[in-house]
Amino acid sequence: MPRVAILETESDAASAAASWIAELLSETPDLVLALPAGRTPLSLYAALAARHRAGEADFNRAATFGLDEFAGLAPSDPRSYHALLRHHLLDHVNVDPARTFTLNGAARDWRREIEAYEQKLASVGGLDLAIVGIGRNGHVGFNEPADRLAARTHRVRLRPESRRANSDQFGGRFRDVPKYALSMGIGTILNARGVLLLAFGRHKARIVNRALTGPVTTQVPASLLQLHPNALVVLDEQAARG
């Protein structure tokens, strides 16, 4: 069972998580992190950028890997998760661009892209900490509920509810949200030495409860995190209401 920390507000939770990550960076300067996109991690990224400005978080030797990306979007596309990570974190800390990796959603040969991503991950010794959010349908990264989950980085067809949840990034136009994404696999995430799951807000309470206290099932991919020996879940009070 993952450890669960409940803080009063999202900003308290983000600040606690940022302090913990800053500490990990000072203990293990070459920390390898997986970074989620979406709305949830933005307060954490702001807190990490502030810690960096205060000289308390040094990313100089760290490596970062984006968790997922929309198929068809190049890193330069402002709607890409790559752009979100740049804008909210990577441009504000001293991470080495040569150790900053994201999936190229526009890669002509996506099979090669996902294979190369796993190779890059292996070349740095795998993930030390996978930071993840949770979709309202229980997805982690873009590992959507299904009878079978892919273990490694893969291409996935997005569920309509996930496309809807992301439509803000596409001017609110559901039809413009890509139908496919590239995502780290659930095995890649479970292989991380540590996992940090963040969830904030009342709208996440139901799925957080199902993922943490319900059966471990591929229909709620986040429930597989119950199997991880070193997972920490950080919630605000609203997300913990379930």
* Distance between first and last Cα of the chain: 16
Q: Name the active-site residue from 52, 82, 139, 228.
A: 139
Question: Of 4-12, 34-42, 45-53, 87-95, which part binds ligand GLP (CB under 6 A)?
Answer: 34-42
Options 133, 138, 194, 221; binder of ligand GLP; rule CB under 6 A: 133
- φ, ψ at 227 (rounded to 5°): -85, -10
Structure tokens that stand for 26 in this block: 């000072």
Binding mask 165-194 for ligand GLP (x = CB under 6 A): xx----------------------------
- Please give the Cα distance from 239 to 232 (Å, whole number): 15
Query: Exactly one of 12, 92, 118, 137 is catalytic; which is it?
Result: 137
49 CB neighbour count, 10 Å cutoff: 18
Residue placing its CB nearer to ligand GLP in the complex, 15 or 166? 166
Active site residue 68: yes
Which residue in 82, 144, 166, 236 is the catalytic one?
144
CA dist list (Å): 50 to 45, 57, 92: 9, 9, 9
Q: CB-hemisphere CA count at 13 Å for 197?
A: 32
Any catalytic annotation for residue 91?
no
Catalytic positions, written as ranges: 68, 137, 139, 144
Residues near ligand GLP (CB under 6 A): 36-40, 67-68, 133, 135, 141-142, 162, 165-166
